[in-house]
Amino acid sequence: MRRKLLVGNWKMNKLNSEAKEFAIASVPFAALAKKNNIDIGVCPTYLSLATVKEFASKDMIVGAQNCHFKESGAFTGEISIPMLKELGIDWCLIGHSERRTYDNETNEKCNLKIKALIANDMVPLYCVGETLAEFEAGDTKKVVGAQVREGLADLTSEQVKDLVVAYEPVWSIGTGKNASSQIAQDICSFIRETLRDMFGDVADGIRILYGGSVKPVNVKEYLSCPDVDGALVGGASLKIDSFEELVRNIL
C-alpha cells in the first residue's frame, strides 16, 4: 500500500521570514495529515531550509530543490549533499523541468545526483516530463521513458525502493493548463511499467506523483487515479490556506 504524498515546490519564492511564518502555521495540519496516513512536505529555497526544518512539524518532509553530486570542491554557487544532511534535510528534488530548461540538467547529471543522494540515505524526488512540442509530436512516452531509464541507470531495486518519481508535463506547469487525469494516469502507469521492467516488483511500492497546475479543486481527481500516489505542487503550495486545502481535499 503506497501512502499518499503531497509536496509543495516553492521554487524561487518566499523570504526566510515568510518561510518561517508558513512553517509555524503548518504545524496543525501536518498532524492532521499524519493522522490520516498522508505524507506532506515542502521544498523551500536553500536559504530557508534550516528555518523550515526548525519551525515546521517533525512530520513535515523538508526537501531541497537541487544539490551537487560531489561532496565538496571548486563548484561556485553549488550546495553539496553533506551540507543538506547537516541541516537534517533528507529529501531532494532532482531534474525539475525548470532546471532541465535553464540549467542544463541532463538525464546523466540527474543520474549522478540520484546515485549520490541514495548513497547518503536521502530520498530523491525525480521529476520527469515532456515539453509541449514533444507532447504534440506524440513523443511523451519516448521522452519520459528515456528520462526514467537514463536518470535511474545503474541502480538496484534495493536502492530505488524509497525513491519518488514525479510526472510533470512541462506544458502544464504554471500555465493553468492541466493534463487531464486520464493523461496523468496513462503516463504514471507507463512510468510504473518502466520501473517494473528495470527493477521488478519493487515498482509496486514506488510512489509516483503528478505535477502541473494542481489546485485544491482538482487534486482529488488526480489522486483517485490508481497509479497517481500524490502531487507535486508549485503555485498552490505557496499560500498556507491553499496548501491546507490541498491536504484537506485528499483526506
Binding site for ligand 13P (CB under 6 A): 9, 96, 168, 173-174, 211-214, 232-236
Neighbouring C-beta atoms of residue 65, cutoff 10 Å: 21
Whole-number Cα distances in Å, 214 to 47, 84, 131: 25, 28, 17
Nearest distance from residue 212's CB to ligand 13P, in Å?
5
What is the chain's length?
251
- Residue 159 and residue 117: Cα distance in Å, rounded? 10
Query: What residues are labeled active site?
Result: 96, 168
Q: All 3 cell numbers of residue 187?
A: 503516463
Nearest distance from residue 208's CB to ligand 13P, in Å?
14
Residue 57 has phi, psi (to 5 degrees) of -65, 150
DSSP run (H or E) holding 124? strand 123-128
Nearest distance from residue 111's CB to ligand 13P, in Å?
20
**Residue whose entry in the numeric block shows the C-alpha cell 496543525:** 28
157-170-49 Cα angle (round to 5): 65
Asked if 233 contacts 211 with a C-beta cutoff of 8 angstroms, the reply is yes
DSSP string across 27-46: HHHHHHHHHTTEEEEEE--G
- Which of the 8 DSSP states describes residue 132? H
Neighbouring C-beta atoms of residue 138, cutoff 10 Å: 9
Nearest distance from residue 30's CB to ligand 13P, in Å?
20
Burial class (CB in 10 A: 0-12, 13-18, 19+), 34: middle
Closest residue (Cβ) to ligand 13P?
A: 234
User: Is 57 or 242 the residue whose CB approaches ligand 13P more closely?
Assistant: 242
Nearest distance from residue 205's CB to ligand 13P, in Å?
23
